[in-house]
Structure 1
């Protein structure tokens, strides 16, 4: 039973009964409902934060576990990248040096594998942590590409290793004329005085002074790609392709003992010294070409001389004298 409330009326000096109108009841009801709603909302927020449901707790635990596993995966990818970097370094600075192969440029090893469109399907799904997912895929794709390039490099190295014996017998490694007394090296590679123009000019080979008819030998296994007779320039000349990027030229000859297209072996007689073309005396002008570039032949005389003899040849070749022909 509801309590009846009264108030004292000073005008009538009597206690009057308090009567509540329907409007007041409605307003009070609405106020109570509003306050209950506000307190209920605040309570639900606090409760959800500090007292999650079993499903929410499971999902949060699963999310934390996934983040932990992602960090482990990222560490594994970083570790794999470090191992791969070590393999790449050994490949460029050891294996490729041993087999005289050019190192793989870093821009080739680290080239990209596609733009943002590659992961467009993932981006279209608008996942909450798509940044972690796309980042992982990018790192793994880059790792896979570098691993593929590295395996192809090892394929090349394997082929070079299998051909090592052939390569060693093909590289120009002896002097093209008999020079046991080391007196025939007349002019070395580099800037020398031109015998006709009388100016300093790049001498792209080595001159061996020798009598006309002195035997000339192939300095490595290969195939004769040119046996040309001319009265100018290099005169009578032979070129041999040794493979593996190497070629040699023998100029100012007087006689050929091989023909164009013929296969030769190191030490085989290929011709005789002469005085043809632009030459001032009987001699052999000998050149070594590696990957299209003329290099110093003195660096390749390793098979028929001792270290002391090699030092003496280096000393002779360094003298800036006049060449015998160009």
Structure 2
């Protein structure tokens, strides 16, 4: 209930009731509503600017931003894990795989090099999280490049492994005559006394003394390039091309078991001991050639001798005795 207001009339010496005019009442009500509206509007503007109250759209955008931030954190952890795993693989690749196959290691700067271009990331600028987005993009691109480099390196290692396996199967690696069939290793590589002239002469192979007809075996995979008696002094002999610049020669045979152009495997029977050509007794004269030069066959018996047998043969081959051819 509204209060009744009075005023003092000095003429009548009494209090009289104040009667409010209708127009004034309406004006007061209008002013009151206007003031309330202005105050409410100003309050709303202040609240909105102070982020005390958010609109539904702003609330939705805020939720999306928080979701994006969470996804960035997850992505960052995953990239860190991938970088750790890849670094482990790269280390093994450089220090084990490539080292084993005698391949040069891949430099760190080549693996982790970034990408050029002044405006490469210009389209990522102008956002609240531009710095984070740009940095993440750079990390992803470097990681992608490291994966490509490592993938190519592993392809190369596979090829090297295949070549190594082929190489190890082809190069001479066993004796041409088995130990149980040998009488003795008669003469080695080096200066020896010629059995016919008694002069000191360089002997370019190793002589394995054995009875006539003793089997002779291919010392590595390859292709027979000669099986004839047309080479001076060698008599009936066989030559096998092993690839990689290696050739093996087996001389003074009684007969051979292969023909020119035939492919053979290590351990295949190719001929038999004899004394054909310039020979003083039944034996297999064995030579190993590398890129056209005759080298010491003693270095190629790792596939058939124990350490003790190798040491014994090394001692026998070093003696400057008389050769059998």
Matching residue of 2:234: 234
Residue 100 of structure 1: how far off its partner (Å): 8.0
**Residue 309 of structure 2 corresponds to residue 309 of structure 1:** yes
Residue 304 of structure 1: how far off its partner (Å): 1.4
Deviates more, 1:307-316 or 1:182-191: 182-191
TM-score (structure 1 length as normaliser): 0.52
- 1:315 counterpart SS class: helix
Residue 180 of structure 1: how far off its partner (Å): 3.9
Matching residue of 2:199: 199
CA contact (8 A) 2:187 2:207 kept: yes
Unaligned 5+ runs, structure 2: 1-93, 105-153
Aligned pairs for 1:48-67 within 5 A: none
Closer, same or farther in 2 for the Cα pair 1:100/1:200, shift >3 Å?
farther
Closer, same or farther in 2 for the Cα pair 1:181/1:261, shift >3 Å?
closer
Residue 288 of structure 1: how far off its partner (Å): 0.6
Unaligned 5+ runs, structure 1: 1-90, 104-153
Cα RMSD between the aligned structures?
Answer: 3.0
CA contact (8 A) 1:230 1:277 kept: no
Residue 164 of structure 1: how far off its partner (Å): 1.3
TM-score (structure 2 length as normaliser): 0.52
Q: Count residues in correspondence.
A: 186
Aligned pairs for 1:179-258 within 5 A: 179-180=179-180, 183-230=183-230, 232-258=232-258
Closer, same or farther in 2 for the Cα pair 1:156/1:294, shift >3 Å?
farther
- 1:253 counterpart SS class: strand
Residue 237 of structure 1: how far off its partner (Å): 0.7
Aligned pairs for 1:1-326 within 5 A: 159-180=159-180, 183-230=183-230, 232-325=232-325
Structure 2 distance, partners of 1:157, 1:189, is 36
Closer, same or farther in 2 for the Cα pair 1:194/1:177, shift >3 Å?
same
Residue 172 of structure 1: how far off its partner (Å): 0.5
Structure 2 distance, partners of 1:303, 1:205, is 18
Structure 2 distance, partners of 1:215, 1:99, is 35
User: Which contiguous aligned blocks of 4+ residues in structure 1 show a shift greater than 3 angstroms?
Assistant: 94-101, 154-160, 180-183
CA contact (8 A) 2:183 2:210 kept: no
Residue 230 of structure 1: how far off its partner (Å): 4.1
Structure 1 distance, partners of 2:251, 2:163, is 30
Residue 156 of structure 1: how far off its partner (Å): 8.3
Residue 203 of structure 1: how far off its partner (Å): 0.4
Residue 171 of structure 1: how far off its partner (Å): 1.1
CA contact (8 A) 1:172 1:220 kept: yes
Closer, same or farther in 2 for the Cα pair 1:182/1:211, shift >3 Å?
closer
Please list the CA deviations of residues 55-109 of structure 1 after superposition, one character each: whole Å capped at 9, or x if unmatched. xxxxxxxxxxxxxxxxxxxxxxxxxxxxxxxxxxxx9xx99996589x9xxxxxx
Matching residue of 1:76: none
Deviates more, 1:219-228 or 1:174-183: 174-183
Matching residue of 1:122: none
Deviates more, 1:175-184 or 1:222-231: 175-184
- Specify the structure having the higher radius of gyration (Cα): 2
Structure 1 distance, partners of 2:226, 2:158, is 32
CA contact (8 A) 1:195 1:324 kept: yes
- 2:179 counterpart SS class: coil
Residue 161 of structure 1: how far off its partner (Å): 2.8
- 2:161 counterpart SS class: helix
